[in-house]
Every structure is written in C-alpha cells, then in structure tokens.
C-alpha cells in the first residue's frame, strides 16, 4: 500500500527544490584574493588564501542561486577574501570585502562556538556521538563551506536588487 504513494512522495521534494531555483538566472559571483595581503596586522600566506578561494568556490558549485565566474567583469557580486585568523576566543574568522553594484561592505565571517560581534556567524562546535557531545577541531574548509552558504543566502535575499543592477 505504501509503495503506491512512494512516487508521489518523491516528487514533493523535487517540486520544492524546483520552486527554490533562481527565477531569472543565477547571480554571477566572483571570489578572489590578492597575492600579498596583511589582515589584522598579520601577513597572510598566498597559499592559504588561494586555498580559501578554491574552497569557497567549490562550496558554491551546486548552488541554485549562484554561478561562480572566472572574471570580475562578468560578475554581479565580487567577494575579495582579505585574510583569516584565529581569534583569542578560539573561533576562526575570515575577513572579506563584498561589492554588489552600489552596495559595498567589509566584514568578518566568524565561525566557532564563542562567536560574537558579527552579523554572519555559524556555530558548529560539537557533534552528537552516541548521545554525548564531543568537541572537534574546526577546519578552514568548514569556514569556506559555511561562508559559501552565507554568500548564497545573501544572493537569494538580495536577488531582485542584484539583477536590477546587472549591466
């Protein structure tokens, strides 16, 4: 009996996903970092920033709202990664500058259990394993993944405004 309804149940998630796609095309986003960068008084390693750029771009590959571009000229939104640091509280912070048409913002994406003083934050500090909480090390690839999700949400929230400023 249940097998009769299974095909209908499988259509519901795909229908919901289809309704969540960008109606007029994806927001074109360019993520980059400068070769030489000093962030919060610390010289940034180019290899670390390059890896962050690759990880953020990778996190956006399957986005329904964002298309990653290879050049700044064709992008609707440009995100420059400024640097990364570990805060005194033990969180990981990624500095960035975002430009979307006339909107420009420089901020920090903070990732960790004691994050504060930020508008964009993702807290993933403990896993449930067998009913008990266990601390785990946070990685920069996780920061990139959650930052990518934040960029997708920004694009989705500001979709109409971003497309209205498209050249």
For the chain, list the domains and their CATH numbers.
25-164 (3.30.160)
Percent pLDDT > 90 in the chain is 59
DSSP the chain: -HHHHHHHHHHHHHHHHHHTS-TT-PEEEEEEE-SSEEETTEEEPHHHHHHHHHHHHHHTTT-SSEEE-SSSTT-SEEEEEEEEEE-TTS-EEEEEEEEETTEEEEEEEEESTT--S-SSEE---EEEETTEEEE----HHHHHHHHHHHHHHHHHHTHHHHHHT--
Residue 23 pLDDT grade (very low, low, confident, very high; cuts 50, 70, 90): confident
Q: What is the pLDDT of residue 15?
A: 37
Record the pTM. 0.73
């Amino acid at each position: 009996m249940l097998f009769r309804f299974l095909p209908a149940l499988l259509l519901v998630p795909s229908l919901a996903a289809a309704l969540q796609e960008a109606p007029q095309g994806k927001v074109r986003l360019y993520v980059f970092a400068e070769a030489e960068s000093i962030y919060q008084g610390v010289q940034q390693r180019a290899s670390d920033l390059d890896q962050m750029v690759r990880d953020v771009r990778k996190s956006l590959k399957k986005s329904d709202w964002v298309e990653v571009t290879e050049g700044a000229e064709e992008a609707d939104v440009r995100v420059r990664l400024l640097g990364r640091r570990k805060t005194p509280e033990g969180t990981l912070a990624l500095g960035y500058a975002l430009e979307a048409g006339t909107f420009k913002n420089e901020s920090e994406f903070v990732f960790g259990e004691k994050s504060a003083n930020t508008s964009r934050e993702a807290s993933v500090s403990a896993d449930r394993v067998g009913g008990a909480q266990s601390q785990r090390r946070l990685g920069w690839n996780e920061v990139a993944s959650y930052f990518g999700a934040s960029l997708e949400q920004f694009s989705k929230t500001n979709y109409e405004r971003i497309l209205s400023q498209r050249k």
